[in-house]
Structure formats: structure tokens, C-alpha cells
Chains A and B, each alone.
Chain A
Amino acid sequence: NAGVTQTPKFRVLKTGQSMTLLCAQDMNHEYMYWYRQDPGMGLRLIHYSVGEGTTAKGEVPDGYNVSRLKKQNFLLGLESAAPSQTSVYFCASSRSGDTGELFFGEGSRLTVL
């Protein structure tokens, strides 16, 4: 009964380092999303995918890249981390594109020094 699993849950980076956040879902959902959550700003969509092999930009895509090579996985990459990318990152998935019901992971807290 895993649902949406994110790894790692915590990470500290130095400015300029790179890293990848992994999201895995076991619900056979077509759609997957990456959000960032910052105090007082709610959640903002970084990138999303409407199916295996597809990706699209969301509201705040700069500084991030994504890949969806397998249906169950959605990777978020930071090529050169900046302090402004300190945030809590949430992955979500949904069965289709028209229900509005997203299933979220527990979040990954990233600190960039």
C-alpha cells in the first residue's frame, strides 16, 4: 500500500552541486507532477508528465529538469543547485487529467547552502 514514494526525504547540498529526486508510484497512474512548497506561497507546479516519455513545464520550471522514462517513475533533477531552491518538494500522481484528485508523496526537504 505504498502509493507515492519519494527518495530521499532529506538532503543538504552546497551551491553548485547536482542531485536527483526520485518519485515512484504503484497505482498505474498516467499523470505525474513535481511541486515545490514554500512558506506563505502554497504549492507551485514545477514540471508534470501526462504519460511515459512525456514532460511539460509548469509554473516555475527554471533550474530543474525532469524525465519520465518509465510510467511509474518521475525524476526531478537540479543540475546546479542554488539557495533559492531550498524548499520542500512534493511529487504527486493522478489517474487521469480531469478529476483534480492528486495523490501526494510525503515530501523531500532540500536545503542548499
Chain B
Amino acid sequence: AQSVTQLGSHVSVSEGALVLLRCNYSSSVPPYLFWYVQYPNQGLQLLLKYTSAATLVKGINGFEAEFKKSETSFHLTKPSAHMSDAAEYFCAVSLGGGNKLVFGAGTILRVKS
């Protein structure tokens, strides 16, 4: 069975600091991996996805994530946090690209001024 673990339910960073949100997955077959973002009182929207092409994936709003098979990780990073990045972030995995996504529990990112 596939699953996703997000380390840290809350992460707090200062404006301008590096953002690092951690995601580890388990999957018996090559996974497709995704990061979604949820702003307050809104639905989720896709940030970026890994579909077995380049291991470093760039997404919207300056975010990127690197697929590391040896570590079974897909951590999300952004070099410099902005106040508008405050949101909840979800890592998700699917088997072979299907749309039945399994979501992690989410990480709430707080950005301090």
C-alpha cells in the first residue's frame, strides 16, 4: 500500500528565510508525487508534480521539490519565504499516475514578519 508521511504538522519561518517542508513516501511501484497548497477557506491547488522525468521539479510561486529515490523523499523548498506563502501544504502520492491520490496529513506553514 502506498502512503505519505509529512514531518511536522506546523512549520514557522521568518520572511526571507528558507522554506523546507518534508515528505516521505512508501510505494511498491514507482510513484507519482505531488504537492498541493491550501490557502485559508479555499480548496487545494496543485503546486508541482513529479512524474518520473526530471528529479528536480519546479512549481508555481518559486517552490521546487526534489525526488530522492534512495531516501524515499520528496521535500518541498523555497529559497525565500514570503508572507503570502502562509498556507497548509499537502504531499500526495499516486500509483503509476492514476488520480486516486493518497494525501499526507498536511503541514501548516507560518511566515513571521
A residues with CB within 8 A of B = 4, 31, 33, 35, 40-45, 48, 58-59, 90, 92, 94, 96-107
Task: Give bound CA distance, A8 to B99, whole Å.
Answer: 25
Q: How far is the CA of A59 from the CA of B94 in the complex (A)?
A: 13
Assembled-state Cα–Cα distance A4/B43 (Å): 10
Distance in angstroms between the alpha carbons of A106 and B43 in the assembled complex: 4
Report which of A58, A104, A107 forms a contact with B100, defined as CB distance below 8 A.
Answer: A58
Q: Which residue of A lies closest to B105 (CB)?
A: A42
Q: With a CB–CB cut-off of 8 A, which chain B residues contact A101?
A: 46, 49
A31 touches B99 (CB 8 A): yes
Where the two chains meet, the residues of B that have a C-beta atom closer than 8 Å to any C-beta of A are 4, 9, 32, 34, 36, 41-46, 49, 51, 90, 92, 94, 97-106
* Contact residues in A for B105 (Cβ distance below 8 Å): 40-42
A31 to B43, CA, bound (A): 17
In the complex, 13 of the A-B residue pairs with CB atoms within 8 angstroms, ordered by the A residue number, are A42-B90, A42-B103, A43-B44, A48-B99, A59-B102, A90-B44, A97-B98, A98-B99, A100-B94, A102-B46, A102-B99, A104-B43, A106-B42
State the CA gap A101–B4 with chains docked (Å): 17
Beyond A99-B97, A100-B101, is A43–B90 a contact (Cβ under 8 Å)? Answer: yes
15 new A-B contacts at CB < 8 Å, known A94-B99, A99-B97, A100-B101: A35-B103, A42-B106, A43-B44, A43-B101, A43-B103, A45-B101, A90-B43, A100-B46, A100-B97, A102-B36, A102-B46, A102-B99, A103-B45, A106-B41, A106-B43
Contact in complex: A45, B43 (CB < 8 Å): no
> Which residues from chain B contact A59 at a C-beta distance below 8 Å?
102
Q: Would you call A48 and B42 a contact (CB within 8 A)?
A: no
User: Shortest Cβ distance from B105 into chain A, in angstroms?
Assistant: 5
Would you call B45 and A104 a contact (CB within 8 A)?
A: yes
What is the CA–CA distance of A59 and B104 in the complex, to the nearest angstrom?
A: 14
Distance A59 CA – B51 CA, assembled complex (angstroms): 23
Q: With A90-B43, A104-B45 as known contacts, state yes or no: A99 contacts B99, CB within 8 Å.
A: yes
Which residue of chain A has the shortest Cβ distance to B6 in the bound complex? A42
Would A98 and B90 count as touching, CB distance under 8 A? no
